[in-house]
Structure 1
Amino acid sequence: MDKVKKKKKIKRETRKTIAGIKLPPIEPVEGIKTIVDVDPAFYSLVEGRPLRQNKSIHEYKRNIKNVALNRTLHGFLVDEILRIEGEIESERTIYETAFKHFEEYQNSFDKFLADDNNKTIAIMQKSDALAKELANQTENHKKANYELASIKSKLQYIDETLMILVSFQNFLNKASPLLWQDSHNIKLDIKYPEVFVAESDIFKKIDEEAAAKKLGELPEPQLYFETPEQLLEIFDLLEKQNLNYLLLTTEFSSEKNRFLRTVDVLKRMLRQELDFIKEKIKDVQDTIKWNDDREAELKEVFFRILEANIKDVVSSDTALQIFNYVEFAYEQLIAPNETKFSSLDMALAIEREYENLLIDISAYDLVMIKQIEKETYEHGYLELKQAKEAATLLKDIDKLSKRLKTSYEPTRRKTHE
């Protein structure tokens, strides 16, 4: 226990706490620089500066950090000032060289103006003369343009007037009687060539003679109407004719309406008939579909019956035996089946033959019939017994023949030798 306590005391003595921070044990380290190495006068007394009263290590660190930051900032500012001063010096040199070049260029330009002053005066006088001549030419050009525009306007007015007159002529010709048009060979909607054609070239001379020639080549108009009163009479007649047409249209409108009503009635009737026919067609289609379904169902039932019942009835062993028995009885009692009767026909024929035999037998004495029947049964029994004996004899003969045959065959040992 004492050893443990001593160790704890040693640890407490070695570990020192400053402001709640546990510091490692102080060991001598070589090569560490302090603030005195950087600034020997840091802790020296300066007149007028009070001594630091705070002994906190945190405050000490913060002060050192602030001093370092301020000095770094001061260094950056000094560098920036030096850079700006260098740029100002370089710009000053550039400005001085540019000013020298400007003075040289100004002097050379003054010399150039002094040398070419006479030439410029002559050129200016010549330009003034050309300007006056240009003004005169412009005035002449304006007069020519005015004359050209007036001529063009006159020609266009003539052309438009001609087109209006031609349209009036066509209107009057259309209003004239057809017989007069045919007799005078009047052509409607005739297009005459234009008297004046505007061109894009403003300097091209207008050919007035060509325009006059085109006007002179136009044919003389032929008109049916000589006075305006004739035209009024024609219009009056046309008005009466139109009135007559209106009356006729009103009369025919009732007939037309009645016809349209009958058409509507016929349409409705046709629609009804078509609907009825469609319903009938639908019913027939449904019936056909039902019959088809019924056919398929009956076909399925038929084939099922055919496979299940009719096959057994027609082609089973019992049916074939019955057919053979009936055919044998028919051939024995009646005649050979050369006509290939069916089993039903042969059975009916046997039945009729049996009825005939019964009728014939009914005429004989019953005692004699019984005696004959007894003899027949006895004879049949004897024949059956003889048949059995013959069958046994046949079996014995077969056995004897087989043994006899084997006796004549060579032995197997000899065959191997």
Structure 2
Amino acid sequence: MAAVSLLSKTPPKEKTVPSLPPIINNKGRKVSADSAKSDGKNPFTMPPDYELFTLRERERNLQREERAIERKLPVHEKPTYASRMNKKLAAVRQAAMTPESSSTDIKGFDQASRIHENTQFVLATTRERRVEKEDLNNYLNKKREMFLMQYSLGVKRDEIQKLEDIAKTEERKIEAAEQYLEQSAAMFDEFLKENDKNSVEAIKMAEAATKAKLEKVAEIKRLNSQVMAIKSEISRNDDHLNELKTYRQFLNELAPQEWHEVRKRRLEEMKRASDATENETLDEEVYFDNPAQLLEIFTELEEQNLSLIQNSQETEETLDEIKHSRRSTQDRMNYEVQVLRFQISELEKMIEKEEAKSLELETKAKLFSFGEYKAEDQEAMLSTLDKKVADVYNKCIGGNEAAVSTLQMLTAIEGRMEELFEELETLPVEKVESAEKAKEKERRLRMREQKLQEQRLHQEERLKRALERAQADPKRTTGRRLVYRSEPPVLKHQQKHIDDQREKEEEEMQYFFT
């Protein structure tokens, strides 16, 4: 009774209605059961299939964020493997003790259910736990949570089964596609085989066509060679025919004139009768029937040809002789003309030289006769000149039997000199040059001997004068010595010019008067 009274006195506990676990709506957000009930919507609506993957991706993102936060922590705050496992066990224990947290997190409930299935783990965790009596409300709340968890697990299993069915359907589609690809590959292989077969047949047909073409080309070449052989034979026969026609024409030309006249009359008669066949036979008719006739004509022609050849040879010989004589005469006349022209030019040069010499001699004669020499001296000089001219005349021409004058003797000497010059030009040049060199050498020797003789005479005169001065009585001068006025110095080049002029005059005197 006391117990009953105690129980009756104790105030009744308020009935706590357990709150429903949060439900994830279609948009992936957590919504409480009360709010879902107040909204009047079914809190157990299943999200679409594509949102399951977004939930999984969201959980992975949360795990990545947790790992990133753990990496940024200091070393002494970073968790270890044991601390992470203890944290998971604490979460499981808290989920077992507080049904609200277990109902809010489906993943934690799955882990708790897996842990409760392990008997050793349950005994280890509940060994030191104090067991308290549970009332009816707590029991009902737990049952409700268990129902909700089982319901969520069933929904998940259905969804997994649905996804498996979809995967099987996709696999069947993939298998069908593979079979279609295999069929397409088989059809493509058959197409390739058919194509190879067609290509082989086409190659065989092309080879057969090529072989036939080569045979046709060989046949065409053979026919072309036959045609060329026939054409060459035709051309050879045509040449032979033309040659025979020329022979026939030659024989017709050898025929006598009477036969030509008879043949001409017959042709006119045939033309009047207009018979073509007889005209052709008449054209082919030949005068000569026997080869002996041709031999007779050929012998006659040969004799005529021989006589003509002999006459032509004789005329050619006479023509060659005439040409040779004409050529020799022309060469001789050309040579004589050249010689005469050369002689004329040489004579003109000699005339110019002689005229210059005559002018020079005339001037010298005028100088000699200009009061410096007396008439007696001039007469003596002229007489010596006459003697020299007469001596030269006697040596060159002969004796002076006709007693010609000096001028006539000089004219004769000049004529003789011209003749000698003309003969000198006809002589060989080598002999003339050798004779000139010999004469020049003799003249130089004579001049040298003459100079030596003059030097010896001059030396003798000097010695004679010195001897006379030595033998003569000395003259004594009385009075002041006479001193002549000094002459200006003589320039060397003037003295040299005077010496050259004097030597030139001496050479001229020796040339003209010796």
For this structure pair, what is the TM-score category when the shorter chain's length is used for normalisation? under 0.3
Q: Which structure has the larger Rg over C-alpha atoms?
A: 2
Higher RCO, 1 or 2 (CA under 8 Å, sep at least 6)? 2
TM-score, structure 2 length as denominator? 0.23
TM-score, structure 1 length as denominator? 0.28
